Amino acid sequence: DAGITQSPRYKITETGRQVTLMCHQTWSHSYMFWYRQDLGHGLRLIYYSAAADITDKGEVPDGYVVSRSKTENFPLTLESATRSQTSVYFCASRDQTSEQFFGPGTRLTVL
Amino acid sequence: AQSVTQPDIHITVSEGASLELRCNYSYGATPYLFWYVQSPGQGLQLLLKYFSGDTLVQGIKGFEAEFKRSQSSFNLRKPSVHWSDAAEYFCAVGAGAGGTSYGKLTFGQGTILTVHP
């Protein structure tokens, strides 16, 4: 199916564990983004990528790592999860008109 | 730095009433402006966008927005609200394609819309 998908949709983990959230898009968009959504903060940009092997920090990058070895995939890794990283995470890709298309989100709980 | 302010955290309207959601932005150049809607437990769906040209933009689901440069505003309107419009609405500002901005979007904090029957 065409579009942007995220997995898992729900994840519960413990403090200190490594967690990887997956994002896959089928449009071959060059630009991809990771946001977190928290009550009272709207969506905040964690990392973004302009193309394979090109990534850069957003507004709240601490505690996160990204990679982009293929255009269609943009995984987000929490190297050592903390309770403050409990959130809903959204992946997005951008077309040439600057419109961003969002995935369904991953709800992450860190205990 | 770009920023977006949505002054109303929560708005309640009756079904059939008109609606206006406010959005004020700060941006150094001509902005690209967007309104997204998010239903509970769902991702964000684009309602409409403004890049250039006519300052009154029509979107999906009967929504429209007007870009007012002098007021740095991009308010969302709907003449008659339906119960299915209950959701959270986000205004966003970003740069165009190209350059070093990567088309990053900055979102407002969102406005929750409740619709009474």
pLDDT tens-digit readout, B44-99: 999 999 988 889 999 999 999 999 999 999 999 999 999 999 999 999 998 765 55
Banded model confidence at residue A1, pLDDT cuts 50, 70, 90: low
Nearest to B49 among A45, A90, A99 (CB): A99
Asked if B90 is an interface residue toward chain A (Cβ–Cβ < 8 A), one would say yes
Taking the CA of residue B87 and the nearest CA in chain A, the distance in Å comes to: 14
Taking the CA of residue B42 and the nearest CA in chain A, the distance in Å comes to: 6
Say if the Cβ atoms of B110 and A42 lie within 8 Å: yes
Asked if B51 is an interface residue toward chain A (Cβ–Cβ < 8 A), one would say yes
Would you call B114 helix, strand, or coil by DSSP?
strand
Say if the Cβ atoms of A98 and B32 lie within 8 Å: yes
Asked if A69 is an interface residue toward chain B (Cβ–Cβ < 8 A), one would say no
Asked if B7 is an interface residue toward chain A (Cβ–Cβ < 8 A), one would say no
Q: Is the pLDDT of residue A95 over 60?
A: yes
pLDDT of A45 reads: 92
Say if the Cβ atoms of A100 and B42 lie within 8 Å: no
A100: region left, alpha or beta (phi > 0 left; psi from -120 to 50 alpha) = beta
Q: Dump pLDDT digits (tens) for A30-86.
A: 999 999 999 878 899 999 998 999 999 998 999 999 999 999 999 999 999 999 999
Banded model confidence at residue A16, pLDDT cuts 50, 70, 90: very high
Asked, as a colleague might, if the bond just before A75 is cis with ω within 30 of 0, I would say no
Strand intervals (E) in B1-117: 3-5, 10-14, 19-21, 24-26, 32-38, 44-50, 56-58, 64-68, 73-78, 87-94, 105-107, 111-116
In 3D space, the residue among A52, A64, A58, A50 whose CA is nearest the CA of residue A94 turns out to be A50
Asked if B13 is an interface residue toward chain A (Cβ–Cβ < 8 A), one would say no
Taking the CA of residue A43 and the nearest CA in chain B, the distance in Å comes to: 6
Asked if A39 is an interface residue toward chain B (Cβ–Cβ < 8 A), one would say no
What is the C-alpha separation between B50 and B45, in angstroms, rounded? 15
- Whether A93 and A25 have beta carbons less than 8 Å apart is answered as yes
Q: Is the pLDDT of residue A11 over 80?
A: yes
Dihedral of CA atoms A79, A19, B94, B97 in degrees, nearest 10, equals 90
